[in-house]
Structure 1
Amino acid sequence: MNAPSLNHELGESRNLALKRLYNFEQRLSKIADLYDANRKFMNEYFSLSHMKLATRTGKYFIPHHAVVKQNGYLSKIRVVFDVSVPSSSCLTLNDVLCVDPKLQSDISNLLLMCRTRKFMFTADLVKIFRQIRIHEEDYTCQHILWPQSPDHEVSEFELLTITYGLTPSPY
């Protein structure tokens, strides 16, 4: 991320993020299981040190919401950080970030390579983007709003790792 230019390009985004949080919390309060699953997800995010209470004022606030994925009898919740929401300058965080080439190999190349190798290994990387920390000076570009518990006021948090959905994430 390029923090100095962000000061001049990104507009205000806190009010929209707060409005979306209140709407989301209101919808969640009607579905107890989803509300608890979302709270558990966010608490895990915090306990794994992928976010922390903000120590500085944010430059860009990312709205977030939960998505439920039904897989037969099981439901899995995933929180989506919506980095494509425009700020008051009509620019999103993705609009001002550099886009680098994708480093992953194309799947067709990998499948062809299987024919020329004796052994192939596969792995599932859990929370892959959340394993990569961003520069501390860029924390202010990844702020979210969230109440730590139902009886707490909304607090400002900094996301400390790569956020999925960001343009440079695949790089």
Structure 2
Amino acid sequence: MSAEELHCEEHFHQHYSRLPTGEYSVHLPMKRDVGLLGDSYLQAKRQFENLESKFSRSPKVKDQYAAFIKEHLDLKQMSSVPSSQVHECKSFLPPHCILKEESSSTKLRVVFDGSAVTSSGFSLNELLMSGPTIQAKLFTTLVRFRTFAIGITGEICKMYRCVRVAEPQCILWRDSPKDDIQVFKLDTVTYGTKSASILAIRAMQQLAMDKFSSYPLGSKVVLQDFYVDDRRRCG
């Protein structure tokens, strides 16, 4: 590992915790001070208003995006920020929508842009560590898969959103252009931020290590036979 990758691993060890709910809570692995971020509200507002224009042309996209927001709220993965606390939001993430009609599962994927540059010239992703690659190589995973006569596969649903984050990122939303724009904070690891993958996978591995004595076979499988590819990420 490089010095930065080692630092990222050390940062996880020092700052992760297990909540009473059983979920893991992590901290963003910053390589530079978050104070370097400038204003990001206006850019996020412009991007959201552009998205609303798209909604007016495609009500179907609006319905799917609204369902995405409602799901976050229902699962308590997102929460409203009172107007008196909006000034505490360190960064606002502009939204992007990727529509895939051919998808059998998620037709609309919502990505929040952690690479959006703030007024200071820095983006959140520039200040974050990406961390090392800690999953097994695909080749070794495939070779092990061929070892036995019967193979069993499984998929982790909404993996990134299973991990709580101590420094939530803020987003904007309203049900109608007639309403006031509201501020919400994403309370789980956010797809679109540089450290999302390492935080989610590392938390999963920590669970396997913490429960190894109780579930040795399951823990071994999680640690050795898990893989995320570029085409179908866990999120």
Tell me whether the two structures share a fold, i.e. TM-score over 0.5.
yes
CA deviation after TM superposition for structure 1 residue 103, in Å: 2.3
Identify which of 23, 33, 46 aligns with 1:5.
33
- Secondary structure, counterpart of 1:66 in structure 2: strand
1:92-111 equivalent positions in 2, closer than 5 A: 92-111=123-142
Please say if residues 170 and 183 of structure 2, whose CA atoms lie closer than 8 Å, have aligned partners that are also in contact: yes
Q: Does 1:88 align with 2:119?
A: yes
Structure 2 counterpart of 1:169, which letter?
Answer: A
Q: Does 1:54 align with 2:81?
A: yes
Q: Distance in 1 between matches of 2:94 and 2:123?
A: 12
Instruction: Give the structure with the higher percent helix.
Output: 2
Unaligned runs of 5+ in 2: 1-27, 199-235
Please say if residues 45 and 51 of structure 1, whose CA atoms lie closer than 8 Å, have aligned partners that are also in contact: yes
Identity across matched positions, percent: 29
1:110-125 equivalent positions in 2, closer than 5 A: 110-117=141-148, 120-125=151-156
Structure 1 counterpart of 2:75, which letter?
Answer: L
Structure 1 counterpart of 2:66, which letter?
Answer: R
Residue in 1 aligned with 2:110?
79
Q: Distance in 1 between matches of 2:193 and 2:152?
A: 28
CA deviation after TM superposition for structure 1 residue 117, in Å: 4.9
Structure 1 counterpart of 2:68, which letter?
Answer: F
CA deviation after TM superposition for structure 1 residue 73, in Å: 9.2
Please say if residues 163 and 169 of structure 1, whose CA atoms lie closer than 8 Å, have aligned partners that are also in contact: yes
Please say if residues 83 and 165 of structure 1, whose CA atoms lie closer than 8 Å, have aligned partners that are also in contact: yes
Larger radius of gyration: 2
Structure 2 counterpart of 1:5, which letter?
Answer: D
User: Which of 1 and 2 has higher RCO (CA within 8 Å, sep 6+)?
Assistant: 1
Q: Distance in 2 between matches of 1:68 and 1:145?
A: 20
Q: Give the alignment's TM-score, normalised by structure 1.
A: 0.86
- Secondary structure, counterpart of 1:45 in structure 2: helix
Q: Distance in 2 between matches of 1:144 and 1:63?
A: 7
- Evaluate the alpha carbon distance shift between residue 107 and residue 73 of structure 1 in structure 2; reply closer, same or farther with a 3 A threshold: closer
1:61-76 equivalent positions in 2, closer than 5 A: 61-71=92-102, 76=107
Q: Distance in 1 between matches of 2:135 and 2:41?
A: 34
- Evaluate the alpha carbon distance shift between residue 72 and residue 52 of structure 1 in structure 2; reply closer, same or farther with a 3 A threshold: closer
Q: Give the alignment's TM-score, normalised by structure 2.
A: 0.64
1:15-50 CA-to-partner distances (Å, cap 9, x unmatched) read 000011111101211211111111111111111111
